[in-house]
Amino acid sequence: MGVVCLSRSACALPLPAAKFFYERTRAGGTNDTKFLLRGVTYGTFAPDANAGYPAPEQLRDDFALMRAAGVNTLRVYTEPPRALLDEAHRHGLKVIVGLAWTQHVCFLDDEALSLEIREGVRAAVRRLHDHPAVFAFALGNEIPAPIVRWHGKAAIEGFLHVLYDDVKREAPEALCTYVNFPPTDYLELPFLDFVCFNVFLHALADFRAYMAKLHHLAGNRPLVLSELGMDSLREGEPEQAKHLATHVRAAFADGAAGVCVFSFTDDWWRGGSQVLDWRFGLVDAKRAPKPAYIALRDSWQHLPFTDVSEVASWPIVSVVVCAFNAAATLEDNLSSLARLSYPSYEVIVVNDGSTDATLAIAERYDVRIISVPNGGLSAARNLGLHAASGEIVAYTDADTRVDRDWLSHLVQPFLEHGFAGVGGPNVVPPDDPWVAQCVARAPGGPIHVMLDNVTAEHIPGCNMAFRRSALLEVGGFDATYIKAGDDVDICWRLQDAGHKLGFAPGALVWHHHRATVSAYIRQQIGYGEGESFLFHRHADRFNARGHMRWSGRIYSQLPAYRTLFQQVIYQGRFGVEPFPLTYQGGLSLWSALPHLIEWHLFTLFLLVASLIQPLLLWAAAAAASATWLGCARHAWTSKIDDVSKPAERFRYRMLITWLHWLQPWARFRGRLRGHFSDRNVSTHGRELLAESARMPFTATLKLILLRADVRLWDTQYTPIDGVLLKLRQLASGALAPVRSDMGFSDYDLVVRAGRAFAFRVKLTAEDHGGMNRLFRARLALERPWLPRLGVCVGLGLVAAVLSRAPLDDYPAWMLLQAGAGGALFWFVHNRVSLYGGQVLHALKLACREHDIRPTSEPSPEPKPDPQHTVAS
């Protein structure tokens, strides 16, 4: 039987690291072995002399049956005797210990009862935490939805957090979870070490759909289905066996870290009596195996992706790693790629002008190497795209470490849903230095945005894959983005082309974060610069303040994101909805305002103004305090349980606070740099600008005062929207941001040229019989500067009057005003002539793509076809 290990530290237990458990203590390291939790529930049993568990002989036989079926974990609902834990350890079983308490009553209304619950939890943990068979403690099991609704979401979350802290005080190394279920899945419990849910959905499609939702609730933590099963009394034993075989495999294929089947035996006691009208067991009450036992044993032995032959027919994948001076992390990256379980893949390393040992490291591995002068991230990704031989091209950064099953999880959604692109989560490795751990808990990192539980709007660039044909269809990556933003751009362009993106929760990569504050600032400046380029290419996806407007929901476990958005929970009429819905609205104004760059700038303005009016110093201090308190709140609610020493925890939280304050400034600096950069203009855009001619004086004057009209002749009955889309594409690459009509305007496009000018473009077409149409285009100058000019002139007049200057000085003042007005008119005319000519040239090029030619005023003008008019 072996000898029971008396010390927990002497027997390494699996530890959670991101989406899975790993058997080695250095979880997430390159040599770690993934631990897939294959469990069953055990009990509850009739109370007897063995503390509510079977006799020792029965325990031994039961555990032997479990091990023969491939079970490695046991979940119990009440505190087990140490004899049970000893026997479980002899059989190599880990135990999830349920901490039972009176959760079925309104416990928070009775202070004495709440204290009694806490003391009972602490006492149980003190008695059991040192046993090597204890895998984790479950703080509760399915607090009834009416009780949660009675006390309120926040109160239940707070009490569970208190229980969690109680457990950690007694046993800092112990793992803690709470077993939730669908009626209360809206509970936010980010402090848990891993997430457990009881799910009983018989239809496989419904089950997998709910699994997708649970992964987003779990975030970057392991998801364990703590109860999954079927009643063989009602459904039949063959159907139970089929259900378990399909659902267990689906759970692991979709990225679950573990499954506990409910239950091991039909011998079940609940509510003071033996349960006879349900039979969920793998074995009957007398321990005779049922068909479900055999089915589950076979499923454990052939879990998804463990057999290479299962994915042998899947498409070839080209993995592209773009590296620039990546010697510090490339070894870790390539060694993890060499251990992938996926059978058909190649690795292409694009050495983007590195000056360190990047090339030498890459040459030690069986990879294709492309060495080029430094040209930026997007250009390097395009080189990998054109060199790839696989049907799917996967991208990961040189500073990542991939999970062994990364490609298998990444490719699966391509086959099941027909996506054009799929991404996965990225998590900081637990062996990264402390500054990198703080950076990982600061805002601004790569995250995913979901339109629903399966379909993504954005997938992070460090963990994304695309169909090669889809990338080529949209022209690959935009070389404008040399540091960041190319992943957002390619996602939006693919969606604009009618493609869909997906998300694979199990496709995990470990992403090394910046290890110094200065490196983090440089990264955020680069992200801000990328945002400014995105604004020029996708102005419709930005709000009036110049910030990205996502259609989907941002998923992040950081408090900086969780607290910024409003949430509404639909629990059904009278709170009886079994699957509540959580809706994320817009920004919560009071939570978000102190963290916006506009608030920071306003605080700075008040501080400077206080030099003139000292009373404003109090307002500046209040505004700054609101920001710092918000940053500190985010830092103090960040999960850093791996740090045990109080002094180190304080240092972590202080740095996280500082990073929260720095991030908006760094992004703002990057956006300013990008706004004034000439990289907004593409190669084709430069050619367009070089070819453009200025508008004549009279035409320019007419555009300034009224508008400019252009006529073009079409003989192919070209759709108007095709011309407008082409115009938008050309103008986006040459001029400043282009906005499209969203259905509420009387214009089609707004083309902003320069810093202070914008042109409204409207297009229509007249039918002239057959396939002939006369296109009419109208340009109207937006004049936001006119009111400002009027204010300036008015202020000048007021200043002249208030100065009480002698009458003899007024002619000179009028002459000065006239000179200033003439200079202003010359400037406006010069700029409108230049930019208007560029917009008109872009319009003519867009029409030329469709063989629509400019025409002079027709004489005689083509007359409408009477027959066509009548028919219309």
For 728, the 3-state DSSP assignment is helix
Superfamily of domain 22-305: Glycosidases (3.20.20.80)
Tell me, what's the pLDDT at 755?
62
What does the pLDDT read at residue 740? 75
Rounded to an integer, what distance in angstroms lies between the CA atom of residue 679 and that of residue 533? 8
Tens of pLDDT, residue by residue over 126-153, are 999 999 999 999 999 999 999 999 999 9
d(CA 353, CA 106): 65
DSSP string, 230-274: --HHHH-HHHHHHHHHHHHHHHHHTT-SEEEES-SBS--EETTEE
Q: Please say whether the dihedral angle defined by the alpha carbons of residues 592, 598, 604 and 606, taken in this order, is positive or negative.
A: negative
**138: part of which helix (H) or strand (E)?**
strand 134-141
What pLDDT, in 10s, does the model give residues 821-852? 778 788 888 888 888 888 888 888 888 877 78
The CATH T-level fold of domain 312-558 is Spore Coat Polysaccharide Biosynthesis Protein SpsA; Chain A (3.90.550)
Q: DSSP label at 142?
A: -
Alpha-carbon torsion 79, 85, 87, 93, what sign? positive
The residue with greater pLDDT, 548 or 282, is 282
Taking the CA atoms of 185, 189, 195 and 198 in sequence, report the sign of the dihedral they define: negative
Concatenated DSSP letters of 803-819: TT--GGGHHHHHHHHHH
Q: What is the pLDDT of residues 367-378, one digit of tens each?
A: 999 999 988 888
Place of tokens 């068979």: 133
Q: Give start-end residues of each CATH 3.90.550.10 domain in the chain.
A: 312-558
Report which of 751, 731, 752, 749 is spatially closest to residue 688, judged by C-alpha positions: 731
Using the CB atoms, write b or e for 488-510: b if 16+ within 10 Å.
bbbbbbbbeeebbbbbbbbbbbb
Instruction: Report the pLDDT value the prediction gives residue 825, as an integer from 0 to 100.
Output: 80
The single-letter DSSP state of residue 81 is P
Q: Count other Cβ atoms within 10 Å, centred on residue 234.
A: 11
Per-residue pLDDT at 584: 66
- Is pLDDT above 70 for 165? yes
Q: Could you give the CA distance from residue 785 to residue 117 in angstroms, rounded to a whole number?
A: 68
Instruction: Count CB-CB contacts under 10 A for residue 353.
Output: 16
470-479: average pLDDT: 90
Bridge partners (DSSP) of residue 456 are: 450, 501
The pTM of this model reads: 0.82
Q: How far apart are CA 435 and CA 517, in angstroms?
A: 7
Question: Which amino acid is present at 721?
Answer: D
**Tell me, what's the pLDDT at 858?**
43
Question: What end-to-end distance do the CA atoms of the chain give, in Å?
Answer: 91
- Residue 321, helix vs strand vs coil: strand
Strands (E), 55-119: 73-76, 94-98
The 8 Å CB, 24+ separation contacts for 107-111 are: 107/147, 107/159, 108/151, 108/155, 108/156, 108/159, 109/151
Greatest Cα pair distance in the chain = 117
For the chain, give every residue range classified as CATH 3.20.20.80: 22-305
CA–CA separation, 297 and 72 (whole Å): 12
